[in-house]
Structure 1
Amino acid sequence: MSAQAQLQVPAATPARRRRGVNLEKWGWIFMRASGVVLVVLIFGHLFVNLMLGEGIHALDFAFVAGKFANPFWQWWDVLMLWLALIHGANGMRTVVNDYVTHPGVRKALVWALGLAAALLIVLGTLVVFTFDPCNGVLEDGSMWEACLAIGN
């Protein structure tokens, strides 16, 4: 082949880039960002619950009721719940995508993970924002006076 013919050989065409949102890239970024935020939320949660005040000896129903009466702690716990569940479900989705080879089984498992995470997020959020420590307290119960004092 002559030098002229070698110059006319077309170069390999570059791989085409898919248009649209790259969900895998955003999932990867979310895992790193949510991991950092979760470390702060979890260690803050542990510090307040275990180190401040009387420490672990103060943890009881009244302590939880007091925390859930404060909107700051409600949002702190809900953010921690949401991030932990989404972070965990995304991690499990990655494991399923890596190791499950049958497309139908993979799709079913990813859907099951998404539904389970969504259900737990909804239920957990409802518990935090609708928590009523006096719900179901009877007149002969030990919490009756406390519930009367707060007006429930």
Structure 2
Amino acid sequence: MTTDITAEHVNPAAPRSPYATTKRGVNWEKWGWIYMRVSGVLLVVLIFGHLFVNLFLGDGVSQIDFAFVAGKLSDPFWQWYDFLLLTLALIHGTNGMRTIVNDYVAKASVRRILHTALVASTAVLLVLGTLVLFTFDPCPAGADPELVASFCEDIL
């Protein structure tokens, strides 16, 4: 006589153990963990690229002014580069904060409020950051020609 338990011997009406290894639905914790590792690697590459271009190429930190930023944000490549950096960093940070809230907040109602605040603040920052990146006017009307990018002189 064998004592192993198979699926046909399990009582479906019995409550599931909280330590059960099989769970129905999407495992959000697993995907959050995977996202943190992948986005972390991408963020390291993007951040060091950002620092290299802004601090080491050209005249270094002394070159960063409105004209420098305007010149970068007038190029679609840098708009999308900065958008990817913004999006990955905000979601990465939000997921980290979500993990901290889950680990240290015992009351479900407080945890729900904090999760809602995290999602709302992340959404607002993503929208505002995206608007700045994609609607930025590198040649504002009436600007001092010494402060704007060199390509704006033809427009002003």
2:39 equivalent in structure 1:
34
- Encode CA deviations 1:16-50: one digit per residue, 9 max, x unaligned: 62111100000000000000000000000000000
2:70–2:138 contact (8 Å) kept in structure 1: yes
Contiguous gaps of at least 5 residues in structure 1? 1-6
Q: What does residue 14 of structure 2 align with?
A: none
Number of aligned positions between the proteins: 145
* Structure with the larger helix share: 1
Q: Is the counterpart of residue 70 in structure 1 residue 61 in structure 2?
A: no
- Relative distance call for 1:11 and 1:149 in structure 2 (3 A) is same
| Identical-pair percentage | 58
Give the aligned CA root-mean-square deviation in angstroms: 2.6
Deviations 1:51-81 (A, max 9, x none): 0011111111000000001011111101000
Residue 83 of structure 1: how far off its partner (Å): 0.3
The match for 1:109 is 114
Tell me which residue corresponds to 2:123: 118
| 1:110–1:150 Cα change, 3 Å | farther
After superposition, where does 1:3-152 map in structure 2 within 5 Å? Answer: 15=20, 17-135=22-140, 137=142, 142-143=146-147, 149-151=153-155
Distance 1:105 1:86, change over 3 A: same
Query: Contact (CA 8 Å) 1:68, 1:74: kept in 2 or not?
Result: yes
Give 1:123 shift: 0.5
Q: CA offsets, 1:106-145, max 9 Å, x none? A: 001011001101110110011000000333535x775589
Give TM-score, length-normalised by structure 1: 0.84
Give the TM-score of the pair, scaled to structure 2: 0.82
Q: Relative to structure 1, is the Cα distance of residues 71 and 137 closer, same or farther in structure 2, using a 3 angstrom cutoff?
A: same
In structure 2, what residue type is equivalent to 1:81? L
Greater radius of gyration (CA): 1
